[in-house]
Every structure is written in C-alpha cells, then in structure tokens.
Amino acid sequence: MPTTELRLDVLMHLSNLPGVPGQEDAVREFVLRELDGLADEVRVDALGNVIAFRAARKPKKSEKVERVMVSAHMDEIGFLVRFIDDQGYLRVQALGGFDTRNLFARNVTVHTRGGTLPGILTPGGRPVHIATPEERKKIPEVRDFVVDLGLSADEVRRRVRVGDMVTLDQAARQVGNLVCGKAMDDRASVFMLLEVLRQLRGKRPRHDLIAVFSVQEEVGLRGAVVAAYGAQPTVGIGLDVTLAVDTPGSTPDEAVTRVGGGIGIKVFDSSMISTRWLVDEFADLADAQGIPAQLEVLALGGTDGAAIQRSRDGVPSVTLSLPTRYIHTIVEAVHVDDLRAGVDLLCAYLR
C-alpha cells in the first residue's frame, strides 16, 4: 500500500484563511505560492479560478492521452454584510447552507477595505434568563442574526460597507487522528490536490492534468462551470467532502461514509450520478493498490464533479469524497488516513 507524508501544517493554514464565495483572494494567493514549480502553466481566469496545467508524458504506442480536469473549491460558507441598522448592528446575507443551531454566540471577523474588525454573531431576542419557554425552543433563521462590533453606529458606518465579507473564527487543530477547523469543506480537498501535484513534481502524468482551484462552489458550482467550459476536459474529477454519519444518534444505514474508512468514491448525489465506468475504475484501482476506499451515496449535496459532467456536450466524471464529521460547522473534522488515501488514489490514477 502506498504511503504519503502529509504536510498537515499546510492544511491547517488553509483552513484558517478567510474566503467566502466571490472573495477567495487570500486562499488564491496562498495556492498560487504553493504552485510555484509544480505546473507547466498557471493562470487565473476572469472569475478567479486558479488553473494549473501539467502536460502528459510521451504516450506509449496505442496509449490514449486524456485531458483530466480535477477540481477542488477554495470558497467557504460565510456571510456578506447586507444592512447596517440605526444602532450599528450588522445584518448578514448567508453564502452557503447553515444549520443555525450552530451559529449561536460565535466570534466572527468582518473584512473591510480598511482592515479586519472583530465581531460577535448572535441572534436577536432576549437572553435565556428572561426568555419565555417558547422563545427558548425557537430555532432562529439567518435573518434573525446580527453582528455586534462594539462600536457606535457612526463608527460602524464609517468603517463597514454593504458587501463586506464576514467569516466565522476558529483555529484549526489536531484532535487525535482528526484535523478539525472551519472550512475543511473544501480546503481539505484543496490541500489534497496540492499534495498530488507535489507528489508528481519531476514526473510526467499519464494524462494531461488540468488542476482547478475553483471559486463560488457553495453558491452553485459557478467556478467549475466556467473552468470546465474553457478547459474542455475528456475526464472530470471533483474533489470535495461528504458526510461521515458515524457519530452517536445515527443509524448504520444513514452512514454515508465513515471517518477512517478511506476515501469516498461517489456513486450518487443530488447533483450528479457519477459515470459508472469511472466509479469502477477507481474502485478497482484502490483495491489493486491496497488504498482504503468506500463507495458513497449522498441524498443531497453537489460538487464540482457535477459542473464538469454537464459541461459542453457532457464529460465522463466522478467525485472523490473526503469523509467529514460536523460539515458546515466550525469544527469540520477529517481523518489523516482518509486524506492520505485520497492523495494516493488520485496519484495512482494520474500515473
């Protein structure tokens, strides 16, 4: 079985970076630095996707060279400022799907043109000490939340604009064999793709490789749509996280994947049915190479793989899914062995 040493410090740094859909600048700058010396060509398209190209080795006789696009998204769920009220509280627009039960009393950062401002995200309403029983049971909607900057209304209006990015605060850390933090969806896959390119340094892949670090996935797979249209791949591979339903309170049949069980090979989600021969090829390759893998059926959700699959007149596509606990919270958790399995399987396919 292949073994890959992983630079977990890089993963944790990626997790900590801010980057909601449309404002992925900090992540993009980091990715561009990491790509130095790892690709034949690197460019940033008009939407902000980072696209790195590695040419294939000279093919053997009768060997077909594909154009393989692999895409992992740089953006994270977060907020934009949509309104500043008369008291200086910020109202926010969600970018991505939140379970508001996980948003109570959170530290956030507001990213303005003049720098960052610390804030507190909390729903409006009365404290628990004086709330009615009905109020205590109510689950607020995103529109009920406000950001308190601890500043006067005039100062807030002077420093904050509608459209400024708001991100949740959480420093990534290791917990046993897990790495947890905000934005493992999908910085963990960005990390895996960077690690694959690092593993391929000095070697030519079997196929032309178009490695895409996409934008705006959390609001509709937008970056990958644009990138796939321009790249014209013949094979598509999405890299993303998926649910690991392996914690107390769930039943065995609900376990989409299990943490530590290996990289997921997507069969189905609500955005795509993976091309069956690609599912079989990856599953057979994992078995032959001794790489832990598990087949994944996800009732809801979508990945860049779907965007590639629907590009132009259609592209055979599959997604490799990283089992993740506590998705769309600030403690998204991935297992080191699953990260390693994802890197090893993608490297084996590209080689």
Q: What percent of the chain has pLDDT over 70?
A: 99
For 147-195, the pLDDT digits (tens) are 999 999 999 999 999 999 999 999 999 999 999 999 999 999 999 999 9
Same domain? 205 vs 322: yes
Supply the range of the domain harboring residue 25: 8-76+182-350
Residues 26 and 126 in one domain: no
Judge whether residue 121 has pLDDT over 90.
yes
Instruction: Classify residue 162: in a domain, yes or no.
Output: yes
Residues 232 and 330 in one domain: yes
Q: What is the pLDDT of residues 30-76, one digit of tens each?
A: 999 999 999 999 999 999 999 999 999 988 887 888 999 999 999 99
**Looking at the structure, do residues 194 and 300 belong to the same domain, yes or no?**
yes
Other C-beta atoms closer than 10 Å to the C-beta of 55 total 14
Lowest mean pLDDT: which of 102-106, 256-260, 315-319? 102-106
Is residue 239 located within the same domain as residue 285?
yes
Q: Phi and psi dihedrals of 38, rounded to 5? A: -105, -5
Does residue 90 lie in a domain region? yes
Q: How far apart are the first and last CA of the chain?
A: 15
Q: Is 217 a catalytic residue?
A: yes
Residue 299 sits in a domain whose CATH number is: 3.40.630.10
CATH of the domain at 122: 2.40.30.40
Residues 306 and 341 in one domain: yes
| pTM to 2 decimal places | 0.95
Task: Indicate whether 343 and 238 sit together in one domain.
Answer: yes
Domain count, the chain: 2
Task: Examine the domain organization and report whether 141 and 219 are in the same domain.
Answer: no
Same domain for 228 and 139: no
Out of 117, 145, 168, a domain closes at 168
Q: Are 158 and 188 part of one and the same domain?
A: no
Q: Tell me which of 129, 144, 168 is where a domain ends.
A: 168
Query: 15 and 86: one domain?
Result: no
Q: Where are the alpha helices (DSSP H) in 160-275?
A: 184-199, 222-231
Nearest-angstrom CA–CA distance, 65 and 234:
9
53 plus 105 within the same structural domain = no
Give domain status of residue 175, yes or no: no
3-class DSSP assignment, residue 61? coil
**Residue 332 is assigned to a structural domain of this protein:** yes
Catalytic residue among 34, 217, 218, 296: 217
Q: What is the per-residue burial (b if ≥16 Cβ within 10 Å, else e) of 205-226?
A: bbbbbbbbbbbbbbbebbbbbb
5/337: higher pLDDT: 337
Mapped onto helix, strand or coil, the DSSP state of residue 211 is strand
Q: Is residue 229 part of a domain?
A: yes
Tens-digit pLDDT profile for residues 69-107:
999 999 999 999 999 999 999 999 999 988 888 898 999
What integer best gives the mean pLDDT of the chain? Answer: 95
Domain boundary (168, 191, 206) is at 168
